[in-house]
Amino acid sequence: AQSVTQLDSQVPVFEEAPVELRCNYSSSVSVYLFWYVQYPNQGLQLLLKYLSGSTLVESINGFEAEFNKSQTSFHLRKPSVHISDTAEYFCAVSDDTGTASKLTFGTGTRLQVTL
């Protein structure tokens, strides 16, 4: 079984400040890792993903995440946030064991950006 822990339920930050949203996972096999973003009353959108290869992955809007196998982490970072980044962020994990692989989500981190 796999699980995801997002330790911070809420992260308040001022605009243009850096931010880190933490994600730790547990799994006995190799995993794939994802960050999804959800704006109020909306569905989830994929922000970035780690499948293999380079451990640092980037999104088109300035977010990045680094896969750290030894620490079983996949923290999300942005050097300078904008008001429009206010949303809920979900870390998720999946693998290829068995005949069905499905996403296991963390409980989410609400990022609140203020002026």
Partner 1 sequence: DGGITQSPKYLFRKEGQNVTLSCEQNLNHDAMYWYRQDPGQGLRLIYYSQIVNDFQKGDIAEGYSVSREKKESFPLTVTSAQKNPTAFYLCASSDSLRGNTEAFFGQGTRLTVV
Which segment (16-24, 40-48, 61-69, 70-78) binds partner 1 by CB under 8 A? 40-48
Tokens linked to 92: 């998720």
CB within 8 A of 65, min separation 6: which ones?
A: 23, 33, 35, 48, 50, 56, 57, 74, 75, 76, 77
CB of 74 to partner 1, least distance (A): 14
96 is an interface residue for partner 1 by CB under 8 A? yes
94 is an interface residue for partner 1 by CB under 8 A? yes
9 is an interface residue for partner 1 by CB under 8 A? yes
- The contact pattern for partner 1, residues 49-88, with x = CB under 8 A and - = no contact, is x-x-------------------------------------
Nearer to partner 1, 49 or 77 (CB): 49
Beta bridge partners of 60: none
CB of 33 to partner 1, least distance (A): 10
Among 38, 36, 56, 39, smallest CA distance to 47 is for 36
Report yes or no: 48 and 59 within 8 Å, Cβ to Cβ. yes
Nearer to partner 1, 26 or 80 (CB): 26
CB within 8 A of 100, min separation 6: which ones?
A: none
